[in-house]
Homo-oligomer: A and B are copies of this chain.
Amino acid sequence: MKCAIIAVGTEVVSGDIVNTNAPYIANFLKPYGIRTVLQMAVEDREKDIVKAVKRGLKKADLVVTTGGLGPTYDDITKKAVACALERELIRDEYSVEMLNAYFRRAEKKMVESNLSQCYFPKGSRVIQNPNGTAPASITHTKKGTVMMLPGPPIEVSALLQTEDIRSYLESLKKEEMIETTLKFFGIGESHLEEILSDYMKKEKNLILAPYAKTGEVQLKITAKGETKEEAQELTDSLKEKLYELVGEYIYAEGNVSLEEVLLAELMKNNHTLVTAESCTGGMIGETITAIPGSSEVYLGGVITYSNPLKMKLCSVFRETLEEYGAVSKGTACEMAEGARKNLGSDIAVSVTGIAGPGGGTEEKPVGLVYIGVSTKEKTDAYRFHFVGNRDKVRRLSVKNALYLALQASKELGMSKK
Chain A residues engaging chain B, CB cutoff 8 angstroms: 7, 10-20, 22-27, 30, 35-43, 48, 55, 59, 70-73, 102, 105-108, 111, 113-114, 130-132, 154, 158, 188-191, 193-194, 197, 209-212, 214, 220, 275, 277, 279-286, 288-290, 292-295, 298-306, 308-309, 312-313, 343-344, 355-358, 365, 367, 385-392, 394
Contacts and interface: CB of A to CB of B under 8 A. Distances in A.
Contacts of A37: 13, 42-43, 48
Given A12-B39, A131-B388, 4 more contacts: A14-B36, A15-B22, A22-B41, A300-B309
B302 A306 contact: no
Contacts of A281: 282, 285-286, 288-290, 294, 298
Nearest to A105: B387
A11 B209 contact: yes
Contacts of A59: 48
Contacts of A16: 23, 27, 211, 220
B301 A303 contact: yes
Contacts of A357: 292
Contacts of A293: 358
A14 to B, nearest CB: 6
Contacts of A13: 26, 36-39
Contact of A343 (B191, B290, B309): B309
Given A23-B15, A39-B40, A282 B277 contact: yes
Contact of A108 (B23, B42, B188, B312): B188
A295 to B, nearest CB: 6
B309 A389 contact: no
Contact of A302 (B20, B302, B385): B302
Report which residue of A41, A312, A357 has the largest number of chain B beta carbons within 10 angstroms of its beta carbon: A41
Contact of A308 (B30, B344, B392): B344
Contacts of A26: 13-15
Contact of A292 (B288, B308, B356): B356
B73 A392 contact: no
Contacts of A358: 292-293
Contact of A391 (B39, B48, B154, B356): B154
Interface of A is mostly: mixed
A280 B301 CA distance: 12
Contacts of A279: 289
A137 to B, nearest CB: 20
A15 B27 contact: yes
Contacts of A387: 102, 105-106
A111 B304 contact: no
A313 B302 contact: yes
A375 to B, nearest CB: 19
A400 to B, nearest CB: 14
A282 B301 CA distance: 8
A314 B62 CA distance: 55
Given A43-B37, A308-B344, A303 B285 contact: yes
Contacts of A130: 388-389
Contacts of A19: 18-19, 22-23, 39
Contacts of A111: 190-191, 194
B308 A282 contact: no
Given A73-B193, A299-B308, A303-B275, A158 B389 contact: yes
A40 B43 contact: no
Contact of A286 (B209, B220, B280, B392): B280
A221 to B, nearest CB: 13
A306 B312 contact: no
Nearest to A302: B302
B41 A312 contact: no
